[in-house]
Structure 1
Amino acid sequence: MNVLLLSIDSLRRDFLTAYRDTPRCLDYGVETDNLDRFAEKAITFDNHYAGSLPCMPARREWLAGVQEFLWRPWGPMEAYDDSLAELTREAGALTHLITDHFHYFQHGSHGYYEDFNGFDFLRGHEYDAWRTAPRDPDERLYRQSADPETDPPHGVGYVNRTNYARNAEALGLGDPDADEENFFGPRVLSRTAEWVGDHDDWDQWFCYVDSFDVHEPFHCPEPYASMYTDEDPADPDLPFWPYYGPVDEGQSELSEQELDFVRAQFAGKVTMVDRWFGRVMDALDEGDRWDDTAVIVTSDHGFFLGDHGWVGKNEPPCYDVLANTPLFVWHPDSPRTGERVDALTSAVDLYATVLEAMDATVPDGTHSRSLAPLIRGDAEDHRDYALYGYWGTSVNVTDGRYTYMHPCDPDEPTDCFSTEMMNARQFAVPRQPKTDAEAGPFLPYTDSPVWRYDAPSTQQNEAPLLFDTEADPEQTENLAAGADPGTDETSGDDGASDQTERMRGLLVDALDDYDAPDSQYERMGLD
């Protein structure tokens, strides 16, 4: 069996036609003809949730089967990880990675690509430290993506939005009429189609494709740039790269016109990526590979586009806009093709699913549970809960209907565990040693010693948040409103109080099941 695993970064399920009729999705009218075509033959998972957020924590879940956010933030594959690429290679498969996701190649992100037989890294997206010339990048690209005060065109900071303007100019993307084949999503997906076509003579392969599109900056060519807006996409005063934060304050402050434009450019990118995904499907058609190839399409998380008053993804609570992610699975031996599955599933489950599809051994102790019983039609249920969140902040749980977001005390530290002394809050700078770290076998899923040291907590929500997503799919009515962090008191009615207590108990059960560190309970005021 071949397996093609495709992640489309930041893809919101409510922008996809396949999810348009489900209760948690609005009708944005975005064209996704090829993902629709794929959904017609695949299994569509309606209750799939992210796990460890954001970028590299999600990749470690997929590639190592470890739900890491209870123990550490953004970081590398660890020496004790059983990597998906290594295990599938040992099972006799040719393995390959295709990506424009530059975070794989940054400080502290090593180990993710090294175990593949080969990899393609397509340069230039977002902050990729690629081009250093010209000194003065294309004026329109620069003005639509950067803030001159924080990202000066001649600045030499490690993370600077000027990087994108220079990279895009080098690829010929400064012209509003630039060829779409030179943009990032099309480059990744056309290379994927080419790779599939080049490997007809291999008995078994695993191809992992990580498209950074539809991630910001939401820069796309015509016809997509104008497809969902009446504005001039070349207007340098309209940003296609919003700053993270509350919509109405701080650096991220956007007018209604600007926010509408950002949404339109995001939607345009979704349609562009969808059309080039069609090339991948065409390659599978032409090679007659559907009968021996499983195809999984998903995303790591969504993106706030003004929802709940936010833009971005790192600071706000983990509403379903971010956490309830798309998942489509085609398996040639499944009797459920074209069906929908309502069972609760988690991002970490893709690890064991790929291994089982390729007849590779799933290691003991993994947090991953294969979706194979659901795919075969042998089961209707999968998980009692899904746990998700960012390291060092609120911890969130869902039972598939109710979502519960439990706050933390920002004055209470949390423990960080890693074989590296990482800067817990800074992914893009060299790691610095910690003088207060201690080493030992502190992790429940490995006997290998790691460093442990205190790191500060941060707060995403000051009080508990509880939502009934069946009755309130947009999560606007907090059933736990008025609750004090770390207490069992709510100002809701008895039914809401009962649900709050039940979901808080489910969260504690989940932490117990994972054998979470004591510091997680302490900073959240949980017994």
Structure 2
Amino acid sequence: MRTVFVLFDSLNRLALECYGGQGIPTPNFNRFAKRGITFDRHYVGGLPCMPARRDLHTGRLTFMHRSWGPLEPFDNSFPKILSEHGTYSHMISDHQHYFQEGGFGYINTFDSWEFIRGQEDDTWVAMVQPPLERFREMFDDRHYPLSRIPKTAKTVTRGNTPWKAWKHLSNIKNRERYKDEEEFPCVKCFTAGLEFLDGNKDADNWFLMIETFDPHEPFHAPERFKKLFETGYTGKILDWPLYEKVTNSAEEIAEIRANYAALVAMCDDQFGRLLDAFDEGGLWENTALVVTTDHGFLLSEHDWWGKNRTPYYEEISHIPLMICRSRKIGDVNVEGNRQTTRYFARQTLSDCGSVRKRPIRGLPYMLIGYMRVSSADERQSVDLQRDALIAAGVDERHLHHDKASGARDDRPGLKACMKELRSGDVLVVWKLDRLGRSLSHLIRIVDEMKERGVAFRSLTEQMDTTTPHGEFLFNIFGSLAQYERALITERVTAGLAAARRRGRKGGRPPSLDSEKIEQIIAALDGGASKASVCRSFKVPRSTLIDTLERVGWTGAGTDARKAKRAAVGKQSA
């Protein structure tokens, strides 16, 4: 297994031509999209930077329950899992958050790593007395609030400078260090990646992660890319928008967007260097290549800049994902354009490393949904169930439904659903009673799926057999169902015994009372046929015959009739 995983930061899906974007030439992303699989429904789990990376590393979606933070000691990171199974992992990154508070633990899961200095607020360049006046002339104070630094300060330190001013000043100092294109951190990341490929071209069983902070803000790109998107703007540098409502002029908005476009063009150019190495080295035969991002960025859409403070609009949450599998690896869990989240990293990359055997608890292969309403009445609709299943990650193309009673086993939708399920899949329902007519019936269905290696998830009851807790809970339900069946049997047996002691016979009460039976026998004795008796007394023929057999009527003679009438009277008494 040989895999290269390229992770950009804040790469907007619609900035890429292969996703329908216009205005930014991205020939190398287009080139890769033609070769690989382009996912159209890939969404974020948690964000921004570090929550997203915890999702990527572990498959644990952090959204709604955890903020920015490190990799926990109990987290099972996929690079560590790869390493434990004999696949060497190496990361190259210029993402400075790995070395700041709240970002610890991630790089330590790799066998080796290389950190490229100088991105954003990386405190790299030591400049005790920076030329603040020159910087203030160059950079717009709205994006680089240097005015907050006291002019009387002889030395500028982290301790005597407001946090945001220190953060942005650190980036300005870093820019003083890299003037030529080859010195930009993003370029250095890909250069180091190419060096890894060259140095390990004859080795097998390795995983390389190339992670660049671009095109995250500040949108600072080499001059040749800026020239592609000139706007005529002549003011101070505006390339680091704050996460706030748009208050800029149309000219300023155009300049900020152009700076982002220049950075995307640089990312495309560097990605092209990697594709060239794959072409020249014949790596497509034995090396998988994956490219994605952590989240998007609002560039004045919805009248906002940035992320975090706004609702998670499509521009932020709907992100690109492209994968090209090597011929050596063959088929892995990335079929089609199903809806995915960042589970894909741990799931798919672990598959490439042959460390995850399908099925595995907690990492479903595909979600298949089943819906049911009890009647074909138009007033009963599966819309509520459909919305819940789609929100839970089930692709709409893998939903099955019935309009039938849950007591029926011959439901066509359920049959189609069961036919589509295969080992490693997860059947998802909105509520337990949508699948089975009773608890025992439900357990029987789930047991059959379990034998096939299929897991089960119910959204309302929050039951998920892909987790140890869910499997334990379902086993408890199974024990309760067995206990319930035993209690019912015991109660019925005791009730019948009590009735017999009181001279009562069990079973269903007769449908014909004694008076009507006498009238029927009189009619039959008078020569009436059984068919005419059934019509006259509105009695089913089977009921008539069963009743006559029960009272012993044979149709023979007066003495027999008297005996039978006496039997009827005795029965009534």
TM-score between the two structures when normalised by the length of structure 1: 0.65
- Is 1:156 aligned with 2:161? yes
Confirm or deny: 8 A CA contact 2:338 2:395 kept in the other structure.
Answer: no
For 1:70 and 1:510, locate their aligned partners in 2 and report how far apart those are by CA, in whole Å: 19
Residue 6 of structure 1 corresponds to: 6
TM-aligned CA deviation for residue 240 of structure 1 = 1.1
For 1:247 and 1:370, locate their aligned partners in 2 and report how far apart those are by CA, in whole Å: 42
Confirm or deny: 8 A CA contact 2:51 2:67 kept in the other structure.
Answer: yes
For 1:366 and 1:135, locate their aligned partners in 2 and report how far apart those are by CA, in whole Å: 56
Q: Aligned partner of 2:14: which letter?
A: D
For 2:270 and 2:188, locate their aligned partners in 1 and report how far apart those are by CA, in whole Å: 9
- Is 1:347 aligned with 2:342? yes
Residue 274 of structure 2 corresponds to: 280
Higher RCO (Cα < 8 Å, 6 or more apart): 1
Change (3 A) 1:152 1:307: farther
For 1:171 and 1:302, locate their aligned partners in 2 and report how far apart those are by CA, in whole Å: 26
Residue 210 of structure 2 corresponds to: 209
Residue 36 of structure 2 corresponds to: 42
- Structure 2: runs of 5 or more not aligned: 369-387, 398-456, 468-573
Residue 55 of structure 2 corresponds to: 61
- Is 1:268 aligned with 2:262? yes
TM-aligned CA deviation for residue 367 of structure 1 = 5.2
Confirm or deny: 8 A CA contact 2:367 2:395 kept in the other structure.
Answer: no
TM-aligned CA deviation for residue 150 of structure 1 = 4.5
Confirm or deny: 8 A CA contact 2:139 2:238 kept in the other structure.
Answer: no
For 1:128 and 1:29, locate their aligned partners in 2 and report how far apart those are by CA, in whole Å: 31
What does residue range 10-29 of structure 1 map to in structure 2 within 5 Å?
10-20=10-20, 27-29=21-23
- Structure 1: runs of 5 or more not aligned: 21-26, 173-178, 249-253, 374-382, 388-396, 402-505, 516-527
Deviations 1:148-205 (A, max 9, x none): 3446784534552101000111223xxxxxx222122212122212211211121111
Higher helix share: 2
For 2:188 and 2:243, locate their aligned partners in 1 and report how far apart those are by CA, in whole Å: 27
Q: Aligned partner of 2:111: which letter?
A: N
TM-aligned CA deviation for residue 263 of structure 1 = 0.6
Residue 557 of structure 2 corresponds to: none
What does residue range 129-278 of structure 1 map to in structure 2 within 5 Å?
129-133=123-127, 135-137=129-131, 139=135, 142-143=139-140, 145-150=143-148, 154=156, 156-159=161-164, 160-172=167-179, 179-232=180-233, 235-248=234-247, 254-278=248-272
After superposition, the CA RMSD in angstroms is 3.2
For 2:162 and 2:362, locate their aligned partners in 1 and report how far apart those are by CA, in whole Å: 38
Deviations 1:114-162 (A, max 9, x none): 1211111111111112223052256265447402344678453455210
Change (3 A) 1:366 1:336: closer
Equivalenced residue count is 373
TM-aligned CA deviation for residue 340 of structure 1 = 9.5
TM-aligned CA deviation for residue 512 of structure 1 = 7.0
For 2:322 and 2:23, locate their aligned partners in 1 and report how far apart those are by CA, in whole Å: 20
Q: Aligned partner of 1:246: which letter?
A: K
For 1:228 and 1:507, locate their aligned partners in 2 and report how far apart those are by CA, in whole Å: 51
Percent pairwise identity: 33
Confirm or deny: 8 A CA contact 2:58 2:77 kept in the other structure.
Answer: yes
Write out the 4+ residue segments of structure 1 that deviate beyond 6 Å after TM superposition.
334-337, 362-366, 397-401
SS at match of 1:342: coil
Residue 23 of structure 1 corresponds to: none
Deviations 1:368-389 (A, max 9, x none): 445899xxxxxxxxx95466xx
Confirm or deny: 8 A CA contact 1:344 1:384 kept in the other structure.
Answer: no
Deviations 1:466-497 (A, max 9, x none): xxxxxxxxxxxxxxxxxxxxxxxxxxxxxxxx
Q: Aligned partner of 1:198: which letter?
A: G
TM-aligned CA deviation for residue 349 of structure 1 = 2.1
Higher strand share: 1
TM-score between the two structures when normalised by the length of structure 2: 0.60
For 1:209 and 1:131, locate their aligned partners in 2 and report how far apart those are by CA, in whole Å: 23
Confirm or deny: 8 A CA contact 1:243 1:312 kept in the other structure.
Answer: yes
Change (3 A) 1:512 1:269: farther
Change (3 A) 1:278 1:141: farther
Confirm or deny: 8 A CA contact 2:138 2:237 kept in the other structure.
Answer: no
Residue 357 of structure 1 corresponds to: 352
Residue 71 of structure 2 corresponds to: 77
Q: Aligned partner of 2:177: which letter?
A: A
